[in-house]
Structure 1
């Protein structure tokens, strides 16, 4: 009996010693970004490269729209918001009420590309023609030099920064036609236009694919060169917002985005760098 007790106690002490000697899991620095689905492909690539270079860091990036990202930043549930539009006055006031000063960081340039099915013979639309289509005044492609075919209008959802940017540049204070298909992401717009010969939509230039056709707007193509030269009429900046000046991991990540290596990733993602590229 005494031998059995001794063996048991030895086993317990051995287990305890093993627990003490076990390596403690390495603590990881974590950062969460949320917001624009236009900016999402850029920041995902930035996060992947940054984590590869900085073991022990964990950066999570998710979409949801610019509005959702800014709201989460103000509520303190994320560290950075990605946005394809400027922060609104109401959002600034809400942040101030919570004692937060939201800081804007421009990380890339973008062109809003107006897209159609590749079989659509129309190659150019004026801003006025695009406006009439989205207001419902023009409903058939024949009216703008195309086939006798109904125009299927796709748009982004109202929480999207891309929706806001498009409305500001094309519609002003007018509302889009009520039968437009309001979609939750730029990828959804691309997918719908790809599968719908009569469709029209708009996306950031980083979403252009061979299976869709980008129209010239006022005779100008949606290219990086035309955007930089100030010729393309639907250009916009892309942002990251922080609650105050970034510190710690957030600052290091933002510094990487703005570095020549980070701006190279912007260029490789088919957007326009705002700083030197390595």
Structure 2
């Protein structure tokens, strides 16, 4: 009887010992996996974050005028370069200059030339013209003003003309709509049309071409200015009187230089472009890229 009990106890001890070994083995494997993480090469599904500036990522920031061209070009480029991520954001030409100059974006967008102080602050910036744009003066479709001279446009924007009836429009107080201080369109308009005179204090400032257009669409007595690519049948584009001839804003009149309010659209890089930056700029300058410029309502570069 005692022998049987001893044998039974022995079997029980052996069984417990084997269970302990199995438990230790399982626990040891689990702890090893927690404390020694696999490298990215060992685990192809491991999540990694790609930083701007690495191969395959291109960041573009700035002018809302240039934005539609850059966005469409980005989509087309990524279609044929599946490993590339082109990220396009607005913010205005001032933001584009600063972002390119300080390296927070790889390409800046500007709807004007660089100013003297910007060149001094960011001496490494390079301008790459990608298109030409006309600035259209727009009114509500219910107020189709026949034409305006540049002096009349200036007088409206500095507050010397306040009623539409004084320039061939409806009998209504003019609602002046313009752009905010970050806008390259505003900078160009201030220099080219206003001769650097102050805007009327009642001017409503908008942060994009689209916002100006929408405000004019919704305000019968409004006037605004937008890039040529934003003109359509929902607003009236006012012809500008040049030597007695009314010239409407269009691709043709900007190209032949008969329309007087036109400016360059630029990409900006910090230093001479290379790699992905150079490849994307070359794409914009190519026939396919210039067709995007045309499709967006702007004027292509002459080649």
**Structure index of larger Rg:** 2
Q: Is residue 282 of structure 2 the alignment partner of residue 255 of structure 1? A: yes
Q: Is residue 215 of structure 2 the alignment partner of residue 196 of structure 1? A: no
Partner of 1:4: 23
Structure 2 gap ranges (5+):
1-19
Partner of 1:61: 88
Q: Is residue 118 of structure 2 the alignment partner of residue 91 of structure 1? A: yes
Give, in whole Å, the separation in 1 of the partners of 2:264 and 2:131.
6
18-27 vs 42-51, greater mean Cα deviation: 18-27
Report the number of matched residues: 272
Query: Do the aligned partners of 1:109 and 1:274 also contact (CA within 8 Å) in 2?
Result: yes
Counterparts of 1:1-278 in structure 2, within 5 Å, are 1-9=20-28, 21-23=42-44, 29-96=56-123, 101-218=124-241, 219-275=246-302
- Calculate the aligned-residue CA RMSD, in Å: 2.1
Give, in whole Å, the separation in 1 of the partners of 2:38 and 2:269.
44
Query: Do the aligned partners of 2:164 and 2:171 also contact (CA within 8 Å) in 1?
Result: yes
Give secondary structure in 1 for the equivalent of 2:122.
Answer: helix
1:103-143 Cα deviation digits (max 9, x unpaired): 11100011100000000031211111111111111100000
Give, in whole Å, the separation in 1 of the partners of 2:239 and 2:168.
14
Give secondary structure in 1 for the equivalent of 2:176.
Answer: strand
Question: How far has the Cα of 1:9 moved from its partner?
Answer: 5.0
Question: How far has the Cα of 1:68 moved from its partner?
Answer: 1.3
**Change over 3 Å in CA distance of 1:58–1:125 after alignment to 2:** same
82-91 vs 70-79, greater mean Cα deviation: 70-79
Give, in whole Å, the separation in 2 of the partners of 1:14 and 1:86.
57
Give secondary structure in 1 for the equivalent of 2:193.
Answer: helix
Question: How far has the Cα of 1:211 moved from its partner?
Answer: 1.4
Output the TM-score relative to the length of structure 2.
0.84
Question: How far has the Cα of 1:11 moved from its partner?
Answer: 6.7
1:61-116 Cα deviation digits (max 9, x unpaired): 111110111012211211111000111111111113xxxx2111100011100000
Give, in whole Å, the separation in 1 of the partners of 2:30 and 2:197.
77
Output the TM-score relative to the length of structure 1.
0.91
Query: Do the aligned partners of 1:259 and 1:275 also contact (CA within 8 Å) in 2?
Result: no
